[in-house]
Amino acid sequence: MIGKHYKAHKDNVIDLFNNYKIKRGDTNDGVKINFLENRVESLKNGKFTLAIAGEVKAGKSTFINALLGTELLPSDVLQSSSTIVEIFKSETPSLRVKYADGTIESISDELTSLGINAKARLHEICKIHDEYREIPTPLIDDCIIASADVLKVDEDFIRQLEQKSSEQLQGKHKVIEKFISERTKDKIPVEIDFGYPLKWEFDELRIVDSPGVNATGGVQNVSFQFFEQADAILFVHQIKPIESESFRKFVNSTISNRSRETLFLILTHAGLYSNDDVDRLHKEANRLYHNIIPENRILVVDSLLKLIHCDLNNGISVKEIQKSNNKKKILYEYLEQAEKEERDLIDIVYEGSRFEKMFAAVDEFSMKAPNLQLQEILRKIKEGYEEQENLYTEKTERLEKKKVNPQQFEEEINRINAALEKYKLLTRETREDLESNYSGRHSSWQKDIDTLKTKYITLIAESNNIEITRKNTLDALNDVEKKIDDFSMELTKNLTKALDEAGKQFKSEYQISTPKMIDLQALEENAKAKAFHKEAIYEDKIDGTKTILGATGAALAVAGIIATLTTGPFGFLAYLGIASAGAAAGAGGAKAFKKKIQVGTRDVFDEKKHLEEYRHQCSNELSSIINIIPNKSKEILNTYLNDFSKEMDSVISDRQEALEAEKTKKQSNEDIIIEIKELDRKKKDIQPEKLRCIEVLEDIK
């Protein structure tokens, strides 16, 4: 299952860090312990998200059930709302539902009363009446949520529904009216969190079921945000027909370029076709989509076979499994194959499901980023232990001299302190050189920024709908964030290189190690945090309905906090029968006098105007963000180097004070021998932990 190896590595890293804190004690080994502790806490509290996308009727629910290893989601009904369903592992079944009116419903099987349980309630919420299967209920739900008034089902409304859903709705006015009359905001879920005692080992794993991409006329903002934050996105599509315009649109016009890098195409229902047909269709998919997704992320599975495998693994008999018509139909062929090959049915079925290959592919790809985080923590712990060893070794050598010749020991202390003063000057020269180099590069930096601005302002201006505008704006913000990260990382890289070269020269000349007590990555993060400040997020409300561009403020976005781009399903939704009270009277008067006179006004949704305003706001926000980057890069540089100088001076001063304390400390030879033995014990004590760090690092790689 996904994350199995990661869990073992994570547990090892947390254990190694806890041991490291104990063994480190008060020793200053150059590691910013608070910064490292925050990383470990983030590791403990983090969650890993697989977001599932795809069209309605593509088999998403069955696929998710196969992933979960149990049939939690109803797969025989259409998803009845545009709600994101987040599924996670918990000790007991639990359900939390937030409705459009703000009320929250919570159910835990530990507290269940009146015969209601979490799983049954989830099925009830997801269920849809047969009479409403032919209308776009999720899209209508969004209209109900967005409107302050009762929806008026007129020709304008039907036309807009048809346009957004690509469905033929003429003649369905009465059905839509009935649905709206029964569907109040206290019955429309907007958030669903479902916990269940799943058998997977990776407790942090979250499976997120998003509405079908054709259910609401496009990908809504809530889904879009989940896709942007997901560790992997699995787009589910039936293997036949293999061509999918919705997948192309999803990749090219909807999700951001950064999300695209986490995308898998999962072709389902493979068990309905022969192996030759499946291989042919798989190759055809590789040919069709090779320019938008790598071949190793196009996978073929059969979700129903995986569920049958789960049934067999749980001891359910074949006879019992065959009570399900869908399973009975597909199982027949595999029963024959198992008998013919004299193999266990459970193995034949699992092979046919092709889930083993899918799990391996998703696990290998999606765990790269979390594993890098583990490696960074381990490397810091290892560096800390290595510096502790150096400190213990050098102090032991000094104590040996003190034991033999106290006068020579004092001279050695004085020599080292004088050398450290020279090293302090050397680090200041390093800072000045780096500052000078980056000031000289400013014109090149500005050129890169100007190129970014021109590229994305043009793309936004040429965007022909809201979704593409949103995508282009987020791509721009992601590129801005990357530009800042690249700048900060380059600073760290060049400073590290300069310090290493200075340290080698210094050690060669003075025969002492330089203080390795600067956690440059911690300084880098601190500099970025100080360079940007948070600004308020505002919402523009037009005509009483939400068509919102959430402006984060330039500095906030550059720091990596993405602007929230939220639109209602039809934008303004002002056309929904919002008219003055005199409109009806005006209509009656017009009929009586055979003359039309204006007695009121009615707001009519103008999609073109909506798009123009949206693009305009996005362009303005992006311009304000990009325009401040050069100045912000200067702030980062200054903050970084100032912190570096302060830290370096402090570290060297601490080392000098410790040496002076050693020099003035009165000790007998017996006391010195005891201290040397204690230092040797500490060195030996950290050896197994350091070796374990190296072993886990190698294993993760």
Cα–Cα dist 218/246, whole Å: 10
Q: Of the given ranges (181-185, 329-333, 380-384, 592-596), which has the lowest mean pLDDT?
A: 592-596
Q: Which two tokens stand for residue 23?
A: 């063994």
Concatenate the DSSP letters of all residues of 529-552 into one string.
HHH------B--EETTEEEEEEB-
Band of residue 302 on the pLDDT scale cut at 50, 70, 90: very high
Task: Quote the CATH superfamily of domain 48-366.
Answer: P-loop containing nucleotide triphosphate hydrolases (3.40.50.300)
pLDDT at 267: 96
pLDDT at 535 over 60: no
The residues, ordered by sequence, that sit 6+ positions from 386 with a Cβ below 8 Å of its Cβ are: 690
Cα–Cα dist 18/15, whole Å: 5
Neighbours of 443 (CB within 10 A): 8
CA 131, 134, 136, 138 dihedral sign is positive
Band of residue 277 on the pLDDT scale cut at 50, 70, 90: very high
Q: Which two tokens stand for residue 190?
A: 């907007």
Q: Higher model confidence: residue 2 or residue 392?
A: 392
pLDDT at 605 over 70: no
Cα–Cα dist 446/454, whole Å: 12
**Contact (Cβ atoms closer than 8 angstroms) between residue 431 and residue 645:** yes
pLDDT at 566: 34
User: What 3-state class would DSSP assign to 207?
Assistant: strand
> Once rounded to an integer, what is the mean pLDDT over residues 383-406?
91
pLDDT at 294: 93
> Once rounded to an integer, what is the mean pLDDT over residues 458-463?
92
* Tens of pLDDT, residues 227-261: 888 889 999 999 998 988 889 989 988 889 999 99
pLDDT at 630: 72
User: What 3-state class would DSSP assign to 611?
Assistant: helix
Q: Of the given ranges (142-151, 216-225, 259-268), which has the lowest mean pLDDT?
A: 216-225
pLDDT at 651: 80
Q: Of the given ranges (168-172, 346-350, 512-516), which has the lowest mean pLDDT?
A: 512-516
Q: Which two tokens stand for residue 99?
A: 């409705």
Cα–Cα dist 77/127, whole Å: 6
Q: Higher model confidence: residue 285 or residue 229?
A: 285
Cα–Cα dist 184/189, whole Å: 10
User: What pTM did the predictor assign?
Assistant: 0.78
* Tens of pLDDT, residues 664-696: 899 899 999 999 999 999 999 999 999 999 999
Band of residue 544 on the pLDDT scale cut at 50, 70, 90: very low
Composition of the chain by helix, strand, coil, percent to 5:
65, 10, 25
> Once rounded to an integer, what is the mean pLDDT over residues 509-522?
61
According to CATH, where is 1.20.120 located in the chain? 406-565+606-665
Q: For all residues of the chain together, what is the average pLDDT? A: 80
Architecture of domain 406-565+606-665: Up-down Bundle (1.20)
Element (H, E) at 321: helix 318-321
- The rounded percent of the chain whose pLDDT value lies above 70 is 81
Rounded to an integer, what is the distance from CA 529 to the centroid of its chain?
20
According to CATH, where is 3.40.50.300 located in the chain? 48-366
Q: Higher model confidence: residue 203 or residue 233?
A: 233
